[in-house]
Amino acid sequence: EQVVEGNLIVKDLQHNITLTFEHEAAVFGPRATPAGESGFLQLAEPMEACTPLANKIPDELNWIALIKRSPPGFDCDFVDKVRHAQDAGALAALVYDHTDEHLIIMSKPSYISETHIPSVFLAKRDGDLLVHLIQTF
- Interval 11-32: pLDDT, tens: 777 777 778 888 899 999 998 8
| Cα-based angle 124, 116, 68 (whole degrees, multiple of 5) | 20
What phi and psi, each to the nearest 5 degrees, are found at residue 130? -65, -40
Q: What is the pTM assigned to this prediction?
A: 0.89
Model pLDDT for residues 33-73, shown as the tens digit of each residue? 877 788 889 999 999 999 999 999 988 888 999 999 998 88
Q: Please count the other Cβ atoms lying within 10 Å of the Cβ belonging to residue 135.
A: 8
29: left (phi over 0), alpha (psi -120 to 50) or beta: left
Q: How do 63-68 and 17-25 pair as beta strands?
A: unpaired
**Statement: residue 76 has pLDDT above 70:** yes
